[in-house]
């Protein structure tokens, strides 16, 4: 009888009935949110420990970002890049400064940023490095996740992402993640770039071996190959630094950014690089109708300004240590491995105990939302506005789920 009064079951049924099944969401229907908390259509509150795969680094409805969006909505939302609008230069200049790069190329989604990076690297290879026409190749890592376009899934090693979407785009060589010798051996005279996630998020927050990223930087420099860092999930404060590469003092030739750049309000992505790389593009060779639109720039500029203060990087680093300590305390009590960098954790549950999906369902019942991946692994990535008490609450709910 009580179930008949709830809105969630019918909303879940309608979603199943009228949408393609390209996702397998938890049976929760969110209607509002603020900060680190979500409320469903039946009034139940949940602690958000996914943060839109890092798109919500600053929490839901951050007042500074919402205010910027409201003000811009009343003025101008779209012109296309056929014209220049008054928000464009500020965004590009301030993001370039945050990245320590000369130029920025704005796009919309993370996958578009990756595609842009691939195109720029190939063009750089032909025009600057003078590789054999039509033979440019890019080194990537197994276990990667860079998006779901046909080109990107062509070099995925995940069957769910790749199978039955061929024919596949050539020009990519896959090497084991973390294996510097294999990466160096794969480079040939036509290699134009190495494309890596500094931390592999979809794979389960897999951290690189110590010294790996500096080694990649050295090899790329020595062999005249671009180092492209996909910081779409790992960047913009998530790991306790502005970029995950910062943990080892590494500066790539090109940053691929997205997710958090839009403040959880609009899709914004960007490629940042110096003029000798991004400068190979000429008018008409690449673009996007909505890329760098006024609304996106207004919000993203405020995101960059929030990051420029260092506050969110500090919060992520400090609270990440609290999260690490709490999760490490559960090793041997249902957890078999924990990987944490800032407010980003990959948690491996004993597969004899439950799957990752089962763990997320049980966490949902206890008012915490997280995401499973690859069997018995769950990812925790709360908004950077989460408090220490809320971190302790999340860890306590994980402990309760493991205890049964």
The domain that holds 253 is classified in CATH as 3.40.640.10
Question: Could you tell me if residue 69 is inside a domain?
Answer: no
Q: Are residues 135 and 214 in the same domain?
A: yes
Q: Are residues 28 and 146 in the same domain?
A: no
Residue 110: domain span: 76-308
Question: Could you tell me if residue 353 is inside a domain?
Answer: yes
User: Across-strand partners of 46?
Assistant: 38
Q: How far apart are CA 257 and CA 109, in angstroms?
A: 9
Residue 1's pLDDT is 44
Q: Is 158 a catalytic residue?
A: no
Q: Are residues 353 and 385 in the same domain?
A: yes
Q: Taking Cα atoms as reference points, which of 341, 343, 338, 326 lies closest to residue 383?
A: 343
Q: Are residues 95 and 200 in the same domain?
A: yes
Residue 75's pLDDT is 98
Phi, psi of 46 (to 5 degrees): -135, 140
Q: Are residues 209 and 349 in the same domain?
A: no
Residue 2's pLDDT is 54
Q: Are residues 300 and 334 in the same domain?
A: no
- 148 near 111, Cβ under 8 Å? yes
Q: Is 227 a catalytic residue?
A: no
The CATH number assigned to the domain holding 12 equals: 3.90.1150.10
Q: Are residues 359 and 397 in the same domain?
A: yes
Q: Counting beta carbons within 10 angstroms of the beta carbon of residue 288, is it exposed (0 to 12), middle (13 to 18) or buried (19 or more)?
A: middle
User: Across-strand partners of 230?
Assistant: 256
Q: Are residues 206 and 263 in the same domain?
A: yes
Question: Could you tell me if residue 10 is inside a domain?
Answer: yes
Q: Are residues 241 and 170 in the same domain?
A: yes
Cis peptide before 302 (omega within 30 of 0): no
Q: Which of 275, 308, 341 is the last residue of a domain?
A: 308
Residue 4's pLDDT is 63
Crossing angle for the helix pair 88-99 and 294-308, nearest 10 degrees? 30
- 177 near 145, Cβ under 8 Å? no
- 10 near 332, Cβ under 8 Å? no
Q: Is 276 a catalytic residue?
A: no
Q: Are residues 24 and 173 in the same domain?
A: no
pLDDT along the chain (404 residues), means of 10: 78 95 96 98 98 98 98 97 97 98 98 98 98 98 98 97 97 98 98 98 97 98 98 98 98 99 98 98 96 98 98 98 98 98 98 98 98 96 98 98 95
Question: Could you tell me if residue 71 is inside a domain?
Answer: no
Q: Are residues 155 and 263 in the same domain?
A: yes
Question: Could you tell me if residue 156 is inside a domain?
Answer: yes
Residue 252's pLDDT is 99
Q: Considering 145, 172, 290, 312, which one is annotated as catalytic?
A: 145
Question: Could you tell me if residue 155 is inside a domain?
Answer: yes
Question: Could you tell me if residue 138 is inside a domain?
Answer: yes
Q: Which of 308, 327, 345 is the last residue of a domain?
A: 308
Residue 5's pLDDT is 80
Quick count: other Cβ atoms within 10 Å of Cβ 42?
14
Q: How far apart are CA 77 and CA 88, in angstroms?
A: 12
- Number of structural domains in the chain: 2
Q: Which of 286, 308, 330 is the last residue of a domain?
A: 308
Question: Could you tell me if residue 26 is inside a domain?
Answer: yes
pTM: 0.97
Q: Are residues 214 and 248 in the same domain?
A: yes
């Amino acid at each position: 009888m009580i179930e008949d009064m709830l809105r969630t079951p019918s909303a879940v049924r309608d979603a199943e009935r009228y949408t393609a099944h390209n996702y397998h969401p938890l049976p929760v229907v969110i209607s509002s949110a603020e900060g680190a908390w979500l409320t469903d259509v039946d009034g139940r509150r949940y602690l958000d420990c996914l943060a839109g795969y890092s798109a919500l680094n600053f929490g839901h409805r951050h007042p500074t970002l919402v205010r910027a969006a409201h003000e811009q909505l009343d003025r101008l939302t779209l012109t296309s890049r056929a014209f220049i609008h008054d928000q464009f230069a500020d965004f590009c200049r301030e993001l370039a400064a945050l990245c320590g790069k000369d130029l920025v190329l704005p796009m919309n989604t993370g996958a578009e940023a990756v595609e842009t990076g691939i195109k720029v690297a190939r063009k750089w290879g032909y025009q600057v490095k003078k590789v054999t026409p039509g033979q440019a190749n890019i080194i990537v890592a197994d276990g990667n996740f860079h998006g779901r376009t046909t080109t990107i899934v062509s070099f995925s090693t995940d069957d769910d992402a790749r199978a039955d979407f061929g024919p596949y785009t050539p020009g990519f060589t896959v090497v084991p993640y973390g294996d510097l010798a294999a990466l160096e051996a794969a480079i040939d005279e036509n290699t134009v770039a190495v494309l890596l996630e500094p931390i592999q998020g979809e794979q389960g927050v897999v951290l690189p071996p110590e010294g790996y990223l500096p080694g990649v930087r050295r090899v790329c420099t020595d062999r005249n190959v671009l180092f492209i860092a996909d910081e779409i999930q790992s960047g913009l404060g998530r790991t306790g630094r502005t970029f995950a590469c910062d943990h080892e003092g590494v500066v790539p030739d090109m940053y691929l950014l997205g997710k958090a750049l839009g403040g959880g309000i609009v899709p914004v992505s960007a490629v940042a690089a110096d003029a000798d790389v991004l400068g190979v593009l000429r008018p008409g060779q690449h673009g996007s109708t909505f890329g760098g639109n006024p609304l996106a720039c207004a919000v993203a500029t405020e995101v960059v300004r929030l990051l420029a203060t260092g506050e969110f990087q500090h919060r992520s680093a400090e609270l990440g240590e609290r999260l690490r300590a709490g999760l490490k305390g559960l090793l041997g009590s249902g957890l078999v491995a924990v990987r944490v960098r800032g407010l980003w954790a990959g948690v491996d549950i004993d597969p004899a105990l439950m799957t990752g999906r089962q763990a997320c369902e049980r966490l949902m019942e206890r008012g915490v939302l997280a995401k499973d991946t690859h069997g018995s692994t769950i990812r925790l990535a709360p908004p950077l506005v989460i408090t220490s008490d809320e971190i302790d609450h999340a860890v306590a709910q994980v402990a309760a789920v493991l205890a049964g």
